[in-house]
Amino acid sequence: MKKIKVGVAGYGVIGQRLADGVALQGDMELVGVADVAPTLSVKALKEKGMPYKFFTAAPERQAELEAAGIPVSGDLDDLVRQSDIMLDATSAGVGAKNKLLYEKYGKKAIFQGGEKNTVADVFFHGYANYEKGVGADFLKLTSCNTTGLIRAVDCLDRAVGVEKVAITIIRRVADPGDYHRGLTNALQIDKAPSHQALDLMTIMPHVEATGILVHTPVTHGHIITVVLTPKKDISVAEALMYFDGHPRIRLVSIDEGFQGNASLFRYARDLGNPRGDMYEIAIWRDSIVKSGRDIMFAINIPQEAVVIPENIDAIRASMKMQLTRDEGTAETNTYLGIGKWKIS
C-alpha cells in the first residue's frame, strides 16, 4: 500500500498534535515538520530524540537552530516538494502566503480555522460535508469551537433534522502557557452573532444559527451551551441515544465527577493521553433538558486537540483515500483510537 506523504508547516499548539496524529495513521507517512525558530516545542522535539524530521521555514535564522543543536533536514521548499499534501498550522495569515509555495509545487494543502475562508476551495468538516472535500486541492478547517459544535448539531440533524440553533460560547482566553493575553480577572463579551454560528451556517446552510461569545480567564477548554430546535420532536432519552452513538462525542455527568472543563482535562491526563489531549467533545448528560420542542445541552471543547481528527479526515477527502464520510471518518477514528472507551 502506497502511503500518502504529509508535511506539517508550523510546530506549535496545533502543529505538533497534527504531526502526532498523522504519525499514527497506518496509511500515511509524516515527512516532517517545519518552523521558524528553536521554540520550546522544537526544543522539546530535540530532547525527545527528534522522532520527526525538522525543516526550517526561515533559512535566515538557521544559525539559531544550529546553536540550539536542532538538526535541520532542509527548508520549507524541501518539505513541500517531498510531500503529497501539507497541513498548514502556521499563524493566521501566514498560511495564505504559504499557499503560493504549495501552488508553485502543485501540492494540496489544508489550512486551519484562523485563515480566511478565501484561502481554500472548501470550508471543511469531516462529518458535516466530507464529500465536498473529496479531490479538492485546498481545504480549510473550522475553528475548535465550530468543529465541536458542528459534531453535535450534525449528529442530531442526521437523526431527526435541525431547524435552528442558538449558542452561548464560554471561551477560554488563551492556551496554556500563552502569556501575551495578559493576566485578567474579568469576562469580555463579543458582538453578536459569533463567528462560530455564522461558520456553522456556511457548513450547514439549511440550519439557522446565531450566538454570543464570552471570553473567560481560563485555559483548559471552552464550554458551549446550545438551544436546538429539531424538526421532529424528540425526548431527552432519544437525544442521549443519538449522542452516545457518535464516536467523537463522549457523554459525561456531574455525578461521575465531571464538574467542568478542568475535570475533563485532568481525566485526559489520568488516562495518560499525551499533553492531556482529548479528541472527543463531551456533552453533560445532566445538561440535556427540554423547553417545549427545543433541546438544550452543554458541550466541552478541548481546544488544543479537537480539530486533529477533522484534519486527518481532510487529508483522506482531498487525496481521495476514502470517498464517503462514513469510510473516511471511520479510518481516522480507528488509527487515533477514538471511541475505544465506549467498548472498554
Residues belonging to the binding site for NAD(+) are: 35
Instruction: Name every residue whose Cβ is closer than 8 Å to that of residue 12 and which is 6 or more positions away in sequence.
Output: 35, 39, 41, 89, 91
111, three cell numbers: 489550512
Catalytic one of 8, 42, 94, 144: 144
DSSP assigned state of 207: S
Phi, psi of 161 (to 5 degrees): 85, 145
Amino acid at 135: G
**β-strand pairing of 162-172 with 208-216:** parallel
Instruction: Respond yes or no on whether the N-terminal peptide bond of residue 247 is cis (omega within 30° of 0).
Output: no
Q: Give which of 225, 221, 305, 297 is closest to 265, Cα–Cα.
A: 221
Per the annotation, the verdict on 144 as an active-site residue is yes
- Separation CA 266–CA 282 (nearest Å): 14
- Separation CA 227–CA 239 (nearest Å): 13
Torsion (CA) 231, 235, 240, 241 in degrees, nearest 10: -80
CB neighbourhood size of 41 (10 A): 16
Binding residues: 35
Amino acid at 142: T
Handedness of CA 314, 206, 93, 211 (dihedral sign): negative
SS3 71: coil
Amino acid at 137: D
Residues belonging to the active site = 144
